[in-house]
Structure 1
Amino acid sequence: MNSAITSISKLLLLTIILTLSACSSTADQQQNSNGKITTSGDPRDPLEVINRPFWIFTWDYVDKYIAKPASQVYTAYTPPFLRSGLYNMALNLNEPSSIINNILQLKFTDAAKSTGRFVLNSTIGLFGFYDPASDFDWSVEQEEFGEVLGVYGVPDGAYLVIPGLGPSSVREEVGDYVDGLYWPMAVIDFWPNMVRLGVLGLEKRAAVRDQEQLVLESADPYSFIKNAYFQNMNYKVHDGNPPIIIDEAQEAEIDALLDDF
């Protein structure tokens, strides 16, 4: 029953998001320092007028008073073996979806590796608490359905800031929904899944602690995070080898400048 309600809620949310994206203009709007609405023109972010307040709420309140302190307490007081084990278990539950998503991309070697990781870690590794698969150089290479869509040419869609969670996009949200339909995610009860997501969230927040100063020192933290998000998505879709995109207009300006000299 809970899984059915969750699925219906996600579908409703995605419908609302897609409707808003279709109704929004391609020109972005934001508030400047004087409180006036200005147009930034980023076609990736047609919902910026909504996303920016969500970002302020997430970064200035949820992260500052909840996520960051919680991750600091968790990493400081959780015994290393327990912390590592819980994180391994949370990642292990994603392996079945990685198997399917690798196959959909015709990455059969990676699919076989994910299969081996899941079988070995779920048995000898005590439901994923330990990671004996790493002894065979079967590294974690988890794939999401959003990456599958990207590989087949589906664009990111509108940039989204999920209140309390952070940056996302329409494609990633659709991908996460599909990944949630795979076994064992589809049969995990609500609270165990919340524990899994909590562990992943705490570890993710702890991992970016050293980069936090870059956000604070940026002229516009919102744009900084947005650009970093899209760069990371592009990096993941191309398995760490994103194509080099040449700005022809900029190249033409440089050529003209060199001709003048």
Structure 2
Amino acid sequence: MKPSPAAILCLALALGACAREASKPRQVAQNGTLPPVVVTGAPTDPTDPFEATNRRILDFNFQLDDAVFKPVAKGYRAVLGPWPRQRIRNVLDNINEPAVAANRLLQGKPIEAGTSVMRFVINSTLGLGGLFDLAPIGGPPKQVADLGQTLAVWGLGDGPFLMLPVVGPSNPRELGG
């Protein structure tokens, strides 16, 4: 049974970050499990006032990664080769371009906003719906901008470190963004 394109796109949305980043090696106990996180009562870092909770959530995330995300990501990579994975990534990046343009405009950067709009139009038409990124052959360059960056430009501080279940590390500004 061959997976449908819709199922592949949903899987790509769920695993986009997992497939892009190489996992860093972690210290594993001799029995093959991760050592438990030792949590002390008082935080050791003033930028992490929720250290005890953040450590518990990090441990949960590692266990979830090992039990669910890693096997699914390996299956995704086994089913789809590099070429279709890159096409999926290109489409997802192209879908994000209007948000990048809006954030560049809100940051007071109209030239960069125009570049993102041009990139979206060119990749959506000549790039066949975003399947192909034309930046390597002279198309508009890719930019990265999100609401968290926009809020930073507006002067909002980042706040304390937060480890979120499934999502990973963040802070209140980036979480709101």
Q: What's the TM-score once normalised by structure 2's chain length? A: 0.71
Match of 1:84 among 83, 86, 90: 86
Q: Would you say 1:58 and 2:61 are equivalent positions?
A: yes
Distance 1:139 1:80 in 2: 22
- Structure 2 CA distance, aligned partners of 1:68 and 1:138? 34
Give 1:93 deviation, angstroms: 1.2
Describe how 1:99-248 pairs up with structure 2 within 5 A.
Answer: 99-175=101-177
Query: Matches of 2:111 and 2:135 in 1, distance apart?
Result: 15
Q: Give the Cα–Cα distance (whole angstroms) in 1 for the partners of residues 75 and 82 of structure 2.
A: 13
Tell me, which stretches of 5 or more residues in structure 2 are unaligned?
1-36
Distance 1:173-1:143 versus aligned 2 partners, 3 A rule: same
CA–CA separation in structure 2 for the residues paired with 1:62 and 1:39: 25
Q: Which residue of 1 aligns with 2:42?
A: 38
Structure 1 regions of 5+ residues with no counterpart? 1-31, 176-261
Q: CA deviation at 1:131?
A: 1.4
Residue identity matched to 1:53: R
Alignment deviations for residues 229-258 of structure 1 (CA, whole Å, 9 cap, x no partner): xxxxxxxxxxxxxxxxxxxxxxxxxxxxxx
Shift of 1:125: 1.7
More helix by share: 1
Partner amino acid, structure 1, of 2:141: S
User: How many matched pairs?
Assistant: 142
Separation in 2, partners of 1:128, 1:140 = 12
- Structure having the higher Rg: 1
> C-alpha displacement at 1:134, in angstroms?
3.7
One-letter amino acid of the structure 2 residue matched with residue 73 of structure 1: G
Q: What is the percent sequence identity of the aligned residues?
A: 36
Q: State the alpha-carbon separation in 2 of the partners of residues 163 and 88 from structure 1.
A: 27
- Partners in 2 of 1:36 and 1:152 — Cα distance? 36
User: Measured at CA, do residues 36 and 150 of structure 1 come closer, stay the same or move farther in structure 2, by a change above 3 Å?
Assistant: closer
Deviation at 1:53, TM superposition (A): 0.6
One-letter identity of the residue aligned with 1:143? A
SS in 2 for 1:128: coil
* Contact 2:43/2:51 (<8 A) preserved: no
The one of 44, 50, 60 aligned to 1:47: 50
